[in-house]
Amino acid sequence: MEDTSYSTQVLDHLGIVAGVCHEIGLIEQIDRQVPKRNGPVSVGQAVQAMAINALGFVSRPLYLSPEFFQNKPVDLLIGADIEIEQLNGFGLGRALDKLFEAGITEVFAGVAAHALGVFGIEVKQAHLDSTSFSLHGEYEVEEDDDLDQPQAIQITHGYSRDHRPDLKQAMLSLICANASSLPVWLTALDGNQSDHKHFPKLVGAYIQQLSGETETPLLVADSALYNQADLLAMSEVADWITRVPGTLAAVQELYTAIDPDDMFIIDEKTRGAEIGSYYGGVTQRWLLVLHEPTRQRQQITLERRIARERDTAERALWHLSNREFDCEDAIHRALAPLERDWKYHRAEIEIVVEQRYTRRGRPTPDAQREVWKFTGQIVADETRIIEAQAGLGKYVIATNQLDAEKLPIAT
């Protein structure tokens, strides 16, 4: 009787990952859009292999993929008749090239739409945002004059969301569905691309691919959307909801104009007030929100900031008061740049004129000169402090959906 040996390997969560990939037909969906086979491994199989590799939480380059799959059942995770050695860097790299040629955005959108259909998920809200990925290296990219071919993004310096301005980066914009944040659309962008320049194009492309098959979802974005050009462009294709920048004068006025006691209760910690608005050529509904726990935290932070500024201002004023000046205007000129830096304080001073002798000996009229000095104190600027306190815990949300029945306020 022939001896049979058995061995066990830890598969962890990768079986679940592969099961989800098989359920949504990841390989079939990609191979349908990118039919060219990548040697013995199709593009879809290569993508699934890279997905499993990435979700294995290892930080190794692609050429080490065979090492990653060495102790794993490749036939179950990816497909039958696939050898581990075929999942090498050259094959996976060629698959990425073919995906680029076919269009990453289009292929991803097709896979995402099919997956939503498989699980019966209806997209009612679409959340729009972008992020950056810092990269090391020069990344010199040659510009291609053939505009009919896909253009490579530019790896360059830009606003770094991971606080690495010293590194070049690439940008990625995502549209995610509903509160679960399932990605349904993505676009890779140059490292210095700003949100407000590409958001309308991104949304327009996403809405166009819906082709009227489903109702256009409500678009949710951050305050980068809130500018005149984007508001007009977005309002033509969809309903949107976004936060209004707190720096707008209209928002600052709203903070002081509405008393918290006049706001309706949303829940035990939150109050709200709805106001009509017209901004950027678009009629809107504004919701002023006051969140009490946030207000309390911000009040503590404000008090600390005021105290630190007072200490700094008192030291600066003391040093300045020990100087002698040639005239009264010189005192005001020296004090002006200090007061410009103070947000919550001002100086109250009293100017005095003193006599100084220019040489030793018995005083004579021609041996005297006048100098100007001052004494003073730092006092709180109550008006500015009250204005700062008025906005604590408050923010404004805007939408172009004017029908309160379609987009009600939670009460």
Residue 146 domain flag:
no
Q: What is the pLDDT of residue 411?
A: 46
Same domain membership, residue 170 and residue 67:
no
Tokens 């949504």 sit at which residue? 24
Q: What is the pLDDT of residue 212?
A: 60
Residue 311 domain flag:
yes
Nearest to 65 by CA among 44, 91, 100: 91
Same domain membership, residue 201 and residue 288:
no
Q: What is the pLDDT of residue 144?
A: 61
> How many C-beta atoms surround the C-beta of residue 344 within 10 A?
19
Give the torsion through C-alpha atoms of 201, 160, 177, 408, to 10 deg: -90
Same domain membership, residue 98 and residue 23:
yes
Residue 168 domain flag:
yes
Same domain membership, residue 374 and residue 287:
yes
Same domain membership, residue 380 and residue 297:
yes
Same domain membership, residue 305 and residue 176:
no
Tokens (6 digits) for 320: 């300045």
Tokens (6 digits) for 139: 């990344």
Separation of CA 196 from chain center = 12
Domain count, the chain: 3
Residue 294 lies in domain: 245-358+366-411
Same domain membership, residue 214 and residue 159:
yes
Same domain membership, residue 377 and residue 252:
yes
Q: What is the pLDDT of residue 254?
A: 93
Distances (CA, A) of 168 to 163, 171, 174, 308: 12, 10, 20, 36
Same domain membership, residue 64 and residue 203:
no
DSSP structure class, residue 103? -
Residue 145 domain flag:
no
Domain-terminating residue out of 213, 239, 265: 239
Q: What is the DSSP string of 14-53?
A: HHHHHHHHHHTTHHHHHHHHS-SEETTEEHHHHHHHHHHH
d(CA 151, CA 353): 72
Tokens (6 digits) for 366: 């021609």
Nearest to 103 by CA among 151, 135, 40: 151
- Span 211-252, pLDDT tens digits: 666 678 888 988 888 888 888 888 888 899 999 999 899 999
Same domain membership, residue 257 and residue 319:
yes
Q: What is the pLDDT of residue 54?
A: 86
Q: Which pTM value belongs to this model?
A: 0.75
Domain-terminating residue out of 194, 220, 239: 239
- The stretches in the chain having pLDDT less than 50 are 411
Residue 109 domain flag:
no
Question: E strands of 264-342, at which residues?
Answer: 264-267, 270-279, 282-291
Domain-terminating residue out of 183, 213, 239: 239
Same domain membership, residue 226 and residue 260:
no
Residue 107 domain flag:
no
Same domain membership, residue 221 and residue 255:
no
Q: What is the pLDDT of residue 288?
A: 96
> How many C-beta atoms surround the C-beta of residue 111 within 10 A?
21
